[in-house]
Structure 1
Amino acid sequence: MGYTVFWEGKVPEEPHIHSVGFAIRSQLVQQHNFAPTAINERLMTDRIPLTQDKHLTPISVYAPSDEEKAAFYNQLNHTTQAVPANDKRGVVGDFNARVSKDHRQWEGIIGHHGIGSCNANGQLLLGLCAEHEFIVANTLFRLPKRQKTTWKYSQSKHWHILVYVLTKARNQKDIRITRSMLGTDDCWTDHRLLISRLNIKTQRPPRRAPGSILRRRFEYVRLHNPQMVRSYKEAYERHLVNPVNQASVEDHWTTLRDAMTRAAEETISFARKKHQDWFDEDDETVSLLIEAKRQTRLHLKNQLIKSSDQRDLRSFYAATKEIFGPTRSSVGGLKDVDEATIITDSEGILLRCRTHFENLLNDQANTPSDLLRITPQDPVHHWMSLLDSIQDFNRALKRMKPNKAPGPDNIPLELLTHGGPELKNRLMLLILKIWEMTPPPSDFRDANIITIFRKGDRENCNNYHGILLLSITSKIFAHFLLDRLFILARDVLPESQCGFRPFRGTIDIIFCARQLQEL
């Protein structure tokens, strides 16, 4: 995970002897649009949103050790006073100061585990802490001395604390640990990094983009109950208004879709998410339930093996979800077009996927402009323009496979098959309107794209396979066209074409090719 560095230093003409800054995780910067404020080359502040309408205001400092320290502490005092009173605040940085271990004299400011003695800069620092009710977090934890000190004096080789973490006394419980990071002694440096872990949580971005539509699946399994089917038909007829006189196909389809949706919401409702049960292993009252759960898992395991042997994929995956639970895979980031920049925010990932599939599905074909003119034309078949009947609609409806994910209209096949003759007649009337050269509804032309990871790098869009979820009603209309094209294909396609044709296969062609090779 990358970090974004914000820093402020002297102008290029002056010596680069000191600066101040923040290193914030790039994902947090993109989610909350962080923009730290640099007061000068020694002070920088930021405001981080937390949960429950709270904020954290960290102040990064690099204090001077010469005659400029009076002006520095004066500026730091004004900066601390400007922080809202309800914010959690903290001051972090190199103060070039040494506070003592006299916790009795500085009660409530220095903890019981300080080291060394106090110098002049330490007096200024402790005065600032007393004025703003700060506590020195470095002195709160009982640690070895080498895990407290941050700087080694080159002449005496003694280690001291110069980097401090200051926080309000009321927020002391938020600090889990403050200690030096060991392992840098071999880098030939006289400084150690200081780490302070806080028990706080930043505000999470919304899981759904603003303005997005929440699509929930209907519990269409309840339609296996005849009583529920009758209730659904009655609710559908109650919500349905007569769409025959509607001028446009879009209004006709919207009326049918809304009636089916409201009827399904009243009768079968939406499917609920199932969470795994939690048991306390030390509680004797639930021991029988735990044993029953184990027996259920054993039964599901046997069912899983049986479904695998019978090649029943639906039962196989249903049993898998019951045993292991649904798996949720999230994309940590996607590479941009240049394959160098990593996109981590949700809106950027959606935009990158949209651009990828637009380029993939809208590829420009390099066909000559006079292709239709030079292609031999078959005679016009007038029988292809004849309208279908309700019997053709019922046959196409029976050929549809159940338990399929719906498209943009969120209407599953079960709502169509259990809607009764009135719904089927009105859907047939809608298809006849579309057949008479009328543009289809927008739900028939749109589709939801679901990405499935294949293999390779998860940050590469080319390693994801896009699945289009189309409207179920539009698939019924597509079956009408497919039936006519199959009849026409018998006369147009050559005898050698066996792929994607009923009662034929490429195995026969391969067998013939091998027989010819053996001759």
Structure 2
Amino acid sequence: MTGLIARELARYNIDITAISETHLSDSGQLCEPLGGYTYYWSGKSSTERAESGVGFAIRDKLACPLTELLKGISDRIITLRLHLASKKYLHLINVYAPTLPSPDEEKNKFYQDLRHVLRDIPSADKLLLLGDFNARVGNDFSAWNGVLGRQGIGKCNSNGLDLLTLCAEFELCLTNTYFRLPEKYKTTWMHPRSKHWHLLDYVIVWKKDLGDVLVTRAMRGAQGWTDHRLVRSKLKITLKAPRRASHKIPTKLSCQILANDQTMRAKLDEKFGVDGLLISESAPVDEQWSAYASRLRGCASEVLGKPQKKHQDWFDDSDPEIRKLINDFRTSLRTPDDNKRRAAHYNLKVKVRALKDSWWANKANEIQLYADTHQTGRFFESLKTIFGPRVGKIAPVYNKDKSCRLTQQSDILSRWAKHFNEILNPDHQTTDIPYIEALEDLPVEEQLADAPSYNEFISALAKLKNDKTAGLDNLPSELYEYGGPNIKKPLFALILRIWEYEMIPQDWKDACISKIYKGKGDISDCSSHRGISLLSAAGKVLAHIVNTCTVAEAPTQYTLSEASGSSISSGCVMAPDLSVLCSRHFESVPQLLGIFCAGLSATLRYIQLSRAHLRCPNAVLSLVL
């Protein structure tokens, strides 16, 4: 359904759409990559029955540079703030008002919340209040001068009186009543019993900003599977140009085809080895790595290209049939015969549902076939198609003392940085120095200073896992694992140089921390998320080499036991073993210190910090962590 809505919005060239009655729980977002829109919503708690609900559909070019999160006031009010100019904003408020038979307490609470939101908006900013108010305001423009225009329709009811009172209080005007249009372009909803058309959906602005509104009218041809017509308002507003990022984010590479396509492997290796690396061997390590990474990224982008995104909505395979049905429905709107219009609308709904049911039946048979034939990869890929685009939960983040919620993107980023810094770099460390000094000295292992062999390098490459998100260099592990000699040998030479000069490229040390919601607890609380560090795949190769050497040389009395809950094969080293390895190798082979620390940052992922501080020197832990 979101794909169909995105198609209609793109056809009418709409940038921001207010959506009512979403019937979705909590707050979240959903992106339609091919549709070009991102959906945001606010609803009731997941423990309550999903009713009402409001949201926005924003074109991607506007959703990406948003500096503030959307704020869900309740399941009936959601707000959005767009940056127009220096210290000037456009406030958009989407509402879904209670219906006429609703209790007075519910109506009073709705308008009380709306008044509270309007009071917080600076008078210098622009306002766009829109949504389904379930109110008929009539055409008595003389009694409501400045609020109603001369082009109102129908009579006023009690909900309309509440809306007019609110507009008069805050000097607002209903733009739907200011443009001389045929009645069919004003009304938005037809009563199911009387078959009379009424105006219930409004676009409201400040009186002083009425000149910015070019036209507000109903679009009869829009098909959104709803009983309300789409209302489009054109405004004369210039948004602030998005600020360019200081660095261009590299595009993802289609590296999955390297796993099964020998031809693409040979082509990539040949492309990389045509010109070679145009840099001196005496250049610093960072410059050599930068030249190698940029060269490999450029060749991979040219040979492999970007991964193709598949549309995950059910109507993708039935696109020609759906377009034909919608065109027939639009044609019927031009006929004066009401029976033909109803028949065309009914035919549209019935056939689209039949296409949807057929797609689901075929997809179910396809998934069952994959399950019966044990094709696990295609089985899970089909499941992703069933579930469609990923739905993400969004919410403002609490500050440290949880006294308020942060909505500015810069404040949110700063809060996450402080949160992960407290986790990874705790202030309180209780290290038992006498115990560490009493540890038995281990014999010196001189062979650990020897540079790794090419076979050890190849073995480390084989330990890399596929289908993992790349680090900041955007070079997935498949490029190294399936690359040819022209790709592997320069990387091995770089590792030997790193081993010799004890200098590690900065890209191998840096990590991008991505937060993942645990699925429980308050989503606004930072402690309800866990962080995943995205590391450079080339740095993992060096880490595997170092880890293999140190763990292989560890004496049996200091290896991991089953009681510790981990095994050496899993790449984990617990705190007691870490202290022994540090005492043994750091004291015996000083030139390995920097390399081993880089390896630890990538391989010792499951170390328990509280136990590590009790067994390891602070100097060692500061290098490792």
TM-score by length of 2: 0.51
Partners of 2:128 and 2:362 in 1: CA distance: 53
Report if aligned partners of 1:456, 1:463 keep a CA contact under 8 Å in 2: yes
Q: 1:337 to 1:112 in 2, by over 3 A?
A: closer
Partners of 1:236 and 1:302 in 2: CA distance: 43
Partners of 1:318 and 1:483 in 2: CA distance: 35
Of 259, 265, 271, which aligns to 2:301? 265
After superposition, where does 1:368-447 map in structure 2 within 5 Å? 368=432, 372-447=436-511
Q: Report the residue type matching 1:410 in the other structure.
A: N
Once the two structures are superposed, what CA deviation does each residue of 1:364-391 show, in whole Å capped at 9, x if it has no partner?
4322556653433212111111111111
Of 409, 413, 417, which aligns to 1:346? 409
Of 355, 360, 363, which aligns to 2:418? 355
1:474 and 2:539 correspond: yes
Partners of 1:258 and 1:227 in 2: CA distance: 23
1:228 and 2:264 correspond: yes
TM superposition shift of 1:480: 1.0
**Bigger mean CA deviation after superposition, 25-34 or 216-225:** 25-34
Partners of 1:176 and 1:353 in 2: CA distance: 48
Specify the alignment match of 1:462 in structure 2: 527
TM superposition shift of 1:447: 1.2
Partners of 1:240 and 1:166 in 2: CA distance: 68
Partners of 1:251 and 1:151 in 2: CA distance: 65
Kindly name which structure, 1 or 2, has the bigger radius of gyration based on alpha carbons: 1
Of 349, 357, 364, which aligns to 1:298? 364
SS at match of 1:476: helix
Partners of 2:161 and 2:431 in 1: CA distance: 74
Q: Report the residue type matching 1:416 in the other structure.
A: Y
Q: Report the residue type matching 1:225 in the other structure.
A: D
Report if aligned partners of 1:407, 1:469 keep a CA contact under 8 Å in 2: yes
Report if aligned partners of 2:286, 2:506 keep a CA contact under 8 Å in 1: yes
Specify the alignment match of 1:219 in structure 2: 254
Specify the alignment match of 1:20 in structure 2: none
Report if aligned partners of 1:335, 1:343 keep a CA contact under 8 Å in 2: yes
SS at match of 1:452: strand
After superposition, where does 1:144-223 map in structure 2 within 5 Å? 144-149=156-161, 165-166=172-173, 172=179, 197-198=203-204, 200=233, 210-211=245-246, 213-223=248-258
**Bigger mean CA deviation after superposition, 142-151 or 272-281:** 142-151
TM superposition shift of 1:273: 2.5
SS at match of 1:254: helix
Q: Report the residue type matching 2:425 in the other structure.
A: N
Q: Report the residue type matching 1:501 in the other structure.
A: S
SS at match of 1:142: coil
Once the two structures are superposed, what CA deviation does each residue of 1:72-116 show, in whole Å capped at 9, x if it has no partner?
xxxxxxxxxxx9xxx99999xxxxxxxxxxxxxxxxxxx98217x
Partners of 2:497 and 2:301 in 1: CA distance: 28
TM superposition shift of 1:335: 0.8
TM superposition shift of 1:238: 2.6
Once the two structures are superposed, what CA deviation does each residue of 1:281-307 show, in whole Å capped at 9, x if it has no partner?
585899998787445412443156459
Report if aligned partners of 1:240, 1:256 keep a CA contact under 8 Å in 2: no
Structure number with greater CO (CA < 8 Å, separation at least 6) is 2
TM superposition shift of 1:321: 1.2
Q: 1:318 to 1:206 in 2, by over 3 A?
A: farther
Q: 1:399 to 1:244 in 2, by over 3 A?
A: farther
Segments of 5+ residues of structure 1 without an aligned counterpart are 3-23, 36-45, 51-82, 92-110, 130-134, 153-158, 179-193, 505-519
Q: Report the residue type matching 2:415 in the other structure.
A: R
Once the two structures are superposed, what CA deviation does each residue of 1:10-60 show, in whole Å capped at 9, x if it has no partner?
xxxxxxxxxxxxxx999645866896xxxxxxxxxx86389xxxxxxxxxx
Please provide the CA RMSD for this pair. Answer: 4.7
Specify the alignment match of 1:136 in structure 2: 148
Of 269, 273, 283, which aligns to 1:247? 283
SS at match of 1:238: coil
1:321 and 2:384 correspond: yes
Report if aligned partners of 1:447, 1:470 keep a CA contact under 8 Å in 2: yes
Q: 1:230 to 1:387 in 2, by over 3 A?
A: same
Q: Report the residue type matching 2:139 in the other structure.
A: H
Partners of 1:349 and 1:89 in 2: CA distance: 25
Give me the identity figure in percent: 22
TM superposition shift of 1:253: 1.1
Specify the alignment match of 1:48 in structure 2: 90
Specify the alignment match of 1:336 in structure 2: 399
Partners of 2:242 and 2:393 in 1: CA distance: 12
Report if aligned partners of 1:407, 1:472 keep a CA contact under 8 Å in 2: yes
TM-score by length of 1: 0.60
Specify the alignment match of 1:514 in structure 2: none
Partners of 2:243 and 2:367 in 1: CA distance: 36
Partners of 1:496 and 1:291 in 2: CA distance: 55
Q: Report the residue type matching 1:248 in the other structure.
A: P
Q: Report the residue type matching 1:467 in the other structure.
A: I
Q: 1:206 to 1:146 in 2, by over 3 A?
A: same
TM superposition shift of 1:333: 1.1
Partners of 1:112 and 1:494 in 2: CA distance: 83
Partners of 1:166 and 1:493 in 2: CA distance: 78
Q: Report the residue type matching 1:265 in the other structure.
A: S
Partners of 1:500 and 1:197 in 2: CA distance: 61
Segments of 5+ residues of structure 2 without an aligned counterpart are 1-26, 28-41, 43-72, 93-123, 130-136, 189-199, 205-231, 329-350, 571-625
Q: 1:358 to 1:306 in 2, by over 3 A?
A: farther
Q: 1:426 to 1:169 in 2, by over 3 A?
A: closer
TM superposition shift of 1:410: 0.8
